[in-house]
Amino acid sequence: MDALARDVFAPRVVRFADCEVDLSSGTVQKKTGSQVRIQAKPLQVLRLLLAAEGRVVTREQLKTALWPDNTFVDFEHGLNTAVKKLRKAVEDSAEHPKLIETIPKAGYRFIAAAEWIPDSREGKEIPTTALHSVPDTGIVPVANHRKTRFGWRGMALSSSVAVIAALMIAHQYLRRPLEQVLKGVEAGRSPVNEVYAREWQLTANPEDTPVTSGAISPDGKLLMYSDPTGLYMKQIDSGETHRIPLPQGFEPLVEGWFPDGGHLLVSWTERSYLQPSLWQISVFGGAPHRLAREGYSAAISPDGSQILCVRQAGPGEEVWLMRADGGGETRLICSGEDSFSRAAWAPDSARFAYARTKTRYYASGRAPDTLIEIFDIRTQRSLVVQDAGERGLPRGGAGLAWLPDGRLIFPLREPRPNQQDTNLWSLRIDPRTLLPRGPSTRLTNGKGIAVQLSFRKDGTRVALRRHAPQPDIYIADLEQGSHRLSTFRRLTLDERVDYVMDWTADSRAVIFYSNRDGPFHVFKQDIVATQPELLVGGMDDLYAPRLTPDGLSVIYIVRPKAGGPSNISRIMRVPLAGGAPQPVLEAAGLFDLECTRPPANFCLYGAIENGRARLFTFDPTNARAEELPAVERKLDSFIWILSHDGQSLAWASEHTGLKQFGIRVFSLDGKLKRDIAVPGWSEIYGLDWAADSQSLWACARNPNGNSALLSVGLDRNVRTVLAHRYLTLDWAIPSPDGRHLAVQQNTNKSNVFLLQNFEPPSR
């Protein structure tokens, strides 16, 4: 077996020529002392060439290993680019190769002598902080979901949404064993229709009362689950269900069962402006016992001695380890750029698998948005499996499980146009090498997103929680001279993702983007129509459509392909009356754009560079742009809104100086106009300016989780227009005439399903 396949945690540093390469991080150390990083795809090419030990690796084998079967990409260009970047990083030449030889019409081979270097860290104690970094080659955020600031509980579910693309681990390490790829054996192409699991629905909650968490007991007989009405225990075989008595106001989410079968690990958000905390409770109810002040997406080790959890850290997250009693807290992984899924412990309680995804503020067009990694606690090393997935992923989490028999269960996205659904696959993992023992196997063929997995201690029963977020556009009428709303009426009649962004100048139609055709396209729909009009289609994903100030065109963002050679986004313009799209400008890290309404006549776009927002005004007809450094220095949020009159920027902030959450309003020259306190509400998100630019529409939540639609005046008068606990609003955009609101509303059907008898049939 080749050098890389012998042991994942064997030497990962290789020396050749004047280079020393750490294959875990992609760091190249030169003898001159300089250091560079190899990007994701070139690093994968190097791994495969080294593993071939001088044999030719064909272009077809490289393409098979580097890109999934259902990836839409220019393979020839992508592979050529990856090899070119690899040569540049190691200072090799295609014309006079010393390291990587091109075999015409065949492939490549590594021709230099390679020396494997033992890692000096082997056996040392784990430091308090283990910072695992990913090569950073530019900043381009993922899909814009408008002005939404998710609460901690929402983050625990949705922050790992984009992770599903990276879980296409069935290519490279987990789905195709490396030695089989090198032999040209496509062992991982398990037929899509081979579904082995028998599946039963355990809960039957409607969409207005979704199951918010759930896990089965170690003996597989009980399901403990939560929904907005409380915490429940269900006997799986009989169906008998009982509510668990808990202290008033204690509303936990089920993280998992302790191995004794009598206690649960739960998280609870005491105040929505605080991170969730971790608690232990009896399955019979009673007083909870707090284990940690911060933590969510937690997992208990199979031996019951340790807990892994996720914590918020700025725009990113961290992974922490603690004893089962909450003591001995140690930070294992931290990242200001990534969020993490709930970990899946290996059967030996010494390793765990987890998924990490770039936040939408840090995703790069030239690097994977998502990764799945296996971390060894004893050696503090991780095996990274990565794949550049498509953007526009559905909201949700990533349910992972590592069964006692060595099978790793993970979700994969369905191909377009069903990309909002994920289904489970399993792969048997060698406990020593962590390489696969055979091909991956499809387990389920259902609808929705797999977000939470738990299993009976022998692995013969698996509980799967699926949810199906449904963002749609609703229209409400505003009574003249008041803030009273008519009953909402649903405008978008489909089961795909629809995000409203603007109105036409005559207030008769909304402009939105949707993935109803597969990619995100731009649409216009009259508020009395049942179907939209396609404005821009094609194979690219399109985002953030806005009406130009003259009311005659729509501008929108075309972001680069994930994992592609560029991180440059384009702003395009298309006439509302019809016609071909025209380029406006290009920018790196482009995140959002907005335009004024007459008589103002300009647009504004934001770009994110190394975690810092930069703002530019521009003319959508001549592409002339001018930076606004004065206001950039005041921004403490990436989610800003431009007033329709072009005079002000506003954003939600915890730094108002008023000692409570509120809204900051600045002029475009960087001068503070006012801080507006929003008392009684601990989270403000989804801002948009009213038609007259004298007030703002805001979505809010209070400490008990109740949501509301507010009208916030520049005179600091705050009115609650609509409030309901089970109402999930993202934002509201007023029509230019001020007579209508286009409301972005979410529903979410979520239930728990039981899988068993999922061994492949004998062949």
The verdict on whether omega for the bond into residue 599 sits within 30 degrees of 0, i.e. cis, is yes
Q: Average pLDDT in the 70-75 region?
A: 54
Do both 194 and 247 map to the same domain?
A: yes
Give CA–CA dist 452/241, Å, rounded.
21
Are 523 and 512 in contact by the 8 Å Cβ rule? The answer is yes
Model confidence over 385-432: pLDDT tens digits? Answer: 545 344 433 444 688 999 999 998 988 778 777 778 888 888 888 888
- Under the banding of pLDDT at 50, 70 and 90, the label for residue 192 is very low
Nearest to 242 by CA among 214, 284, 183: 284
Per-residue exposure over 32-44, b if at least 16 CB sit within 10 Å of its own CB, e if not: eeeeebbbbbbbb
| pLDDT tier, 368 (very low <50, low <70, confident <90, very high otherwise) | low
Question: Looking at the structure, do residues 112 and 183 belong to the same domain, yes or no?
Answer: no
Same domain for 182 and 50: no
Min mean pLDDT across 369-373, 655-659, 665-669 is at: 655-659
Which residues lie across from 19 on neighbouring strands?
16, 30
More confident residue, 615 or 25: 615
What letter does residue 4 receive in the DSSP assignment?
H
Secondary element (H or E) of residue 46: helix 40-51
Q: Is residue 267 part of a domain?
A: yes
Q: Are residues 33 and 182 in the same domain?
A: no
Structural domain that includes position 91: 3-117
CA atoms 248, 253, 257, 261: torsion sign: positive
Measured distance CA(53)–CA(110) in Å, rounded: 7
87/166 same-domain check: no
What's the structural domain count of the chain? 2
Q: From 213, 266, 214, select the one nearest 236 (Cα to Cα).
A: 214
> Is the model's pLDDT at 253 over the cut of 80?
yes
For the CA atoms of the chain, what is the radius of gyration? 26
Mean pLDDT of the chain: 80
Using 50, 70 and 90 to split pLDDT, how confident is the model at 466? very high
CA distance 413 to 168: 8
In a domain, 126, yes or no: no
Residues 162 and 107 in one domain: no
Residue 200, amino acid:
W
Residue 176 has pLDDT above 50, yes or no: no
Q: Is residue 453 part of a domain?
A: yes
Q: Is the pLDDT of residue 28 over 50?
A: yes
pLDDT value of residue 170: 31
Report if residue 392 sits inside a domain: yes
3-state secondary structure of 367: coil
Please give the Cα distance from 555 to 537 (Å, whole number): 14
Residue of 72 and 111 predicted with greater confidence: 111
Residue carrying structure tokens 């091909």: 439
Q: CA–CA separation, 86 vs 108, rounded Å?
A: 12
Is the pLDDT at 733 greater than 90, yes or no?
yes
Confidence band of 338 (pLDDT split at 50, 70, 90): confident
Residue 659 has pLDDT above 90, yes or no: no
**pLDDT given at position 118:** 61
At 589, the pLDDT band (50, 70, 90 cuts) reads confident
Residues 192 and 43 in one domain: no
Confidence of residue 73 (pLDDT cuts 50, 70, 90): low
- Do both 294 and 360 map to the same domain? yes
Confidence of residue 166 (pLDDT cuts 50, 70, 90): very low
> The CATH number of the domain where 17 resides is what?
1.10.10.10
Whether 713 maps to a domain, the answer reads no
Asked whether residue 505 carries a pLDDT value surpassing 90, the answer given is yes
**pLDDT score recorded for residue 742:** 97
Within this chain, do residues 190 and 43 fall inside the same structural domain, yes or no?
no
| Residue 626 buriedness (CB in 10 A; 0-12 / 13-18 / 19+) | exposed
Q: Is residue 584 part of a domain?
A: no
Q: How far is CA 280 from CA 202, 264, 268, 297, in A?
A: 24, 6, 11, 14
Can you say whether residue 407 is alpha, beta or left, with left for phi > 0 and alpha for psi between -120 and 50 degrees?
Answer: beta
Burial pattern 345-382, b for ≥16 Cβ within 10 A else e, equals bbbeeebbbbbbbbbbbbbbbbbbbbbbbbbbbebbbb
Edge-to-edge strand order for the sheet containing 441-442? Answer: 401-402, 407-413, 422-428, 441-442
Q: Which of 244, 751, 264 is nearest to 463 (CA)?
A: 751
Of the candidates 146, 148, 142, which has an alpha carbon nearest to the alpha carbon of residue 499? 146
Give per-residue pLDDT as tens, 103-152: 887 889 999 888 877 644 333 333 323 323 333 322 222 233 333 333 33
Report the alpha-carbon distance of residue 269 to residue 739 in Å, rounded.
Answer: 38
Mean predicted confidence (pLDDT) in 622-633: 86
Checking if the pLDDT of 267 tops 50, the result is yes
Query: Quick one: three-class SS letters along 167-230?
Result: CCCCCCCCCCCHHHHHCCCCCCCCCCCCCCCEEEECCCCCCCCCCCEEEECCCCCEEEEEECCE
Strand partners, 13: 22, 117
Q: Are residues 387 and 331 in the same domain?
A: yes
**Is the separation of the CB atoms in 223 and 209 below 8 Å?**
no
Indicate the helix (H) or strand (E) that contains 626. Answer: strand 625-627
Average pLDDT over residues 484-511: 94
In this structure, the number of other CB atoms found within 10 A of the CB of residue 550 comes to 12
- Supply the CATH number for residue 283's domain: 2.120.10.30
What's residue 361's pLDDT? 58
User: For 35-52, what is the mean pLDDT?
Assistant: 85
Binned at pLDDT 50, 70 and 90, residue 521 comes out as very high
- For residue 268, pLDDT over 60 is answered with yes
> In this structure, is residue 132 part of a structural domain?
no
Residue 526 has pLDDT above 90, yes or no: yes
Structure confidence by residue, pLDDT tens digits, 536-573: 999 888 999 999 999 999 999 998 776 566 778 999 99
pLDDT at residue 679 in the model: 81
- pLDDT of 655: 55
Contact call for residues 38 and 21 (beta carbons, < 8 A):
yes
pLDDT confidence of 511, banded at 50, 70, 90? Answer: very high
What's the Cα-to-Cα distance from 648 to each of 365, 439, 591, 693, 719, rounded to whole Å?
31, 57, 19, 9, 21
Residue 202 falls inside a structural domain: yes
Alpha helices in 52-98 (DSSP H): 59-66, 75-90
pLDDT band at 529 (very low <50, low <70, confident <90, very high): very high
Q: Are residues 67 and 205 in the same domain?
A: no
- Long-range contact pairs involving 556-559 (C-beta distance under 8 Å, separation at least 24): 556/513, 556/522, 557/144, 557/590, 557/593, 559/140, 559/142, 559/143, 559/365, 559/391, 559/590
Minimum mean pLDDT among 443-447, 698-702, 735-739: which range? 698-702
Statement: residue 189 has pLDDT above 90: no
In this structure, are 345 and 465 located in the same domain?
Answer: yes
pLDDT digits (tens, 9 = 90+) for 273-330: 678 999 999 998 889 999 999 999 999 999 999 999 999 887 778 999 999 999 999 9
Residue listed under structure tokens 């529409």: 697
251, amino acid identity = E
